Amino acid sequence: MSPAAIPATVRIGTVSDMAPLVEKTLRDVAALGGGAPELTDEALEAARARFAEELDQTFAAGAAEVEQSMQRTLPKGVKLLPLEASREGLVVTSVTTFEVDDLRVLPILQMAFEPGQPRRRPFEAFTVTVEDGAVTIEGMPPPMALEGPEDELRAQALRLALEIEVPVLESNATSSRRAGDGTHLEWRFDGAQLRARSAADRGWVQARLQR
């Protein structure tokens, strides 16, 4: 490990509400079949229950495959921790955690969310610079999975977190707290920010750490 390296735990979490997508799919199917797009509460509830069960089965079956795929592209000095997912109704929270030997690998970290999906670089727009005895991290939150109308329906929130043991000189984190011998910084972005096309409306991540 380089003397200037700053080890950290990097965590990225997405919150998706699948209920609007389920309802849209049912209405589209009804319209294609010539039926009325109006759906009863009973039909919607039954569809939500079926979809919730499918979500659990999909994660259980696909988590290992996604982890293996991500492991193959990890840069040197990066460890992938087990993927996490929880569900409340049709609101799904997924968390991917990396342990990195040096924060400067952030821009090249790759992630995948489902088997067969292309990997993405969530921190590709980030810069990590070392100057005047400090490390500065800056970047725009990634538009995670906002590639089409269906994705826009379900995106609810994104959380980025860093756990580091070096002193934090300044940051614009949504929250900051002690974590063991270090500091936990977390940035939270809501669905409106994730759907924003304007960079100014997407928010910004900034932290300056003592080298």
pLDDT (tens digit, 9 = 90+) per residue, 50-106? 888 888 887 777 778 888 888 888 889 999 999 888 888 888 888 999 999 999 999
- Max avg pLDDT among 3-12, 43-52, 136-145, 158-167: 158-167
Average pLDDT of the chain is 82
DSSP state of 187: E
pTM of this structure: 0.79
Contacts (Cβ under 8 Å, ≥6 apart) of 87: 52, 55, 56, 93
Contacts (Cβ under 8 Å, ≥6 apart) of 146: 152, 155, 194, 195
Residue whose entry in the numeric block shows the structure tokens 């319209």: 31
The helix or strand, by DSSP H or E, that contains position 186, with its residue range, turns out to be strand 182-190
Is the pLDDT reported for residue 210 higher than 80?
Answer: yes
Q: Quick one: pLDDT at residue 27?
A: 77
Is the pLDDT reported for residue 150 higher than 60?
Answer: no
Q: Quick one: pLDDT at residue 178?
A: 92
Q: Quick one: pLDDT at residue 60?
A: 74
Lowest mean pLDDT among 95-109, 122-136, 153-167: 153-167
Q: Quick one: pLDDT at residue 35?
A: 59
pLDDT (tens digit, 9 = 90+) per residue, 170-199? 999 999 999 888 999 999 988 778 777 676
Is the pLDDT reported for residue 147 higher than 70?
Answer: no
pLDDT (tens digit, 9 = 90+) per residue, 111-121? 765 556 667 78
User: Which residues sit opposite 11 in a β-bridge?
Assistant: 97, 161
Q: What is the mean pLDDT of residues 112-139?
A: 82
Looking at the chain, the whole-number percentage of residues with pLDDT higher than 90 is 30
Q: Quick one: pLDDT at residue 154?
A: 58
